[in-house]
Amino acid sequence: MDDELLAVRVAELYYDENKTQDEIGALLGISRWKAGRLLAQARERGIVRIEIVHPRARRLAIERSLRERFGLADAVVVPTPENESGVQGRVAQAAADFLTSLRPVPRVLGVSWGRTLTDVAERMPDGWATGVTVVQINGGVSLNRRPGTAATLASTIAQRGRGHAVLLPSPAILERLSTKKAIESDRTVAAVLDRASEANAFLYSAGVVDANSAHVESGYLRPEDMDELAARGAIGDVVGRYIDPNGNIVDPSLDERTLGVSLDTLRSAATAILVVAGTAKHDVARAVVTSGLCTVLITDEGTARALLEDS
């Protein structure tokens, strides 16, 4: 019996039958050490595959690579399920878990909005913090369909953290610069923005340049605007601001009319957590990560690998 076959037999007896290497040796007529060595070989050669099968499993090795490669303070990578549809939920869960065990517990948490973050909010455990203040960091949506999701999201996170939410009562993008300036200088709005920029941690996601974007759906941008942004090299948005692959603002005049914390605020934040999932968002994710917009990345394996592969 050649060594490879022998290694298979040893692995079977060890892992499937819970025999000790000693027993296996006796059984197969080899020494206990040889059994051990064959077992090691079986593992090395990939004959034995050990997998952690759990919706909340993580990919620590990839996380380490991400941290090193992009100088991140932390990274969380969850396996992409065969069926990509579940990936968003898994990443959201991971974000909720991360936030829950984040130390020191942030007193003021700045949050953006979007489908992904809504998912995260729903997954926050009750009592994840005691007395957190959740501040919206960019203008809210009022989707015609589901009004108030942005506000709900912030409130949910706040409530579960035994604290309260500070909402930003403003559209995401104003049609005219003067209006934006006016709103911005309103006492209550200014106060919110102040709190926002002082947050201990920011939690946000990223959007893609696409006619289905929430900005279009909510009427802040027209499909033509999206085309224009795309033509100018935009690959997605972060806290409502459209960036190119280098993380630079694509359309300064549009950006001027966008209400919320600036990208620089994110860049200089001690903790800026990007939550992003799915194939469609690989490009934005890369832009955000490489341009230092986040210190923590929470994503799926597919996205992580895409980030590590090229560039």
Partner DNA sequence: TACGCGACTGCTCAGATGCGCAGTGCGCTC
Partner DNA sequence: GAGCGCACTGCGCATCTGAGCAGTCGCGTA
CB of 74 to DNA, least distance (A): 25
* The binder of a copy of itself chosen from 26, 27, 57, 230 (CB under 8 A): 57
Spatial CA neighbour of 34 closest among 24, 45, 19, 46: 24
Distance CA 281, CA 116 (A): 12
61 is a contact residue toward a copy of itself (CB under 8 A): yes
Residues 222-251 that bind DNA (CB under 7 A): none
* The binder of a copy of itself chosen from 3, 31, 40, 60 (CB under 8 A): 60
Decide whether 27 or 72 has the Cβ nearer to a copy of itself. 27
* The binder of DNA chosen from 4, 17, 31, 169 (CB under 7 A): 31
Residue 48: CB atoms within 10 Å: 18
Q: Which does 46 bind (CB under 5 to 8 A by kind): a copy of itself, DNA, none?
A: a copy of itself
Say if CB 235 and CB 208 are below 8 A apart.
yes
53 is a contact residue toward a copy of itself (CB under 8 A): yes
* The binder of DNA chosen from 5, 20, 194, 227 (CB under 7 A): 20
* CA distance to 21, 178, 309, per residue, from 70 (Å): 43, 39, 13
5 is a contact residue toward a copy of itself (CB under 8 A): yes
Which tokens belong to 193? 């923005």
Distance CA 296, CA 71 (A): 10
Residues 221-260 that bind a copy of itself (CB under 8 A): none
Distance CA 135, CA 110 (A): 5
The letter for the amino acid at 306 is: A
32 is a contact residue toward DNA (CB under 7 A): yes
Distance CA 75, CA 216 (A): 31
Which tokens belong to 294? 């986040």
In terms of C-beta distances under 8 Å and separation of at least 24 residues, what long-range contacts does 242-247 make, across chains too? 242/209, 243/284, 243/287, 243/288, 243/291, 244/287, 245/283, 245/286, 245/287, 246/287, 246/290, 246/291, 247/287, 247/288, 247/290, 247/291, 247/292, 247/293
Q: Which does 8 bind (CB under 5 to 8 A by kind): DNA, a copy of itself, none?
A: a copy of itself
1 is a contact residue toward a copy of itself (CB under 8 A): yes
* The binder of DNA chosen from 11, 14, 88, 235 (CB under 7 A): 14
* The binder of DNA chosen from 40, 52, 60, 231 (CB under 7 A): 40
Decide whether 15 or 245 has the Cβ nearer to DNA. 15
Decide whether 97 or 225 has the Cβ nearer to a copy of itself. 97
85 is a contact residue toward a copy of itself (CB under 8 A): no
Selected range binding a copy of itself among 47-55, 81-89, 225-233, 234-242, rule: CB under 8 A: 47-55
Cα–Cα–Cα angle for 232, 233, 239, rounded to 5 degrees: 100
Selected range binding a copy of itself among 95-103, 130-138, 174-182, 296-304, rule: CB under 8 A: 95-103
Say if CB 173 and CB 220 are below 8 A apart.
yes
49 is a contact residue toward a copy of itself (CB under 8 A): yes
Positions touching a copy of itself (CB under 8 A) are 1, 4-5, 8-9, 11-13, 15-17, 42, 46-54, 56-61, 97, 100-101
| Residues lying near DNA in the complex (CB under 7 A) | 14, 20-22, 30-34, 36-37, 39-40
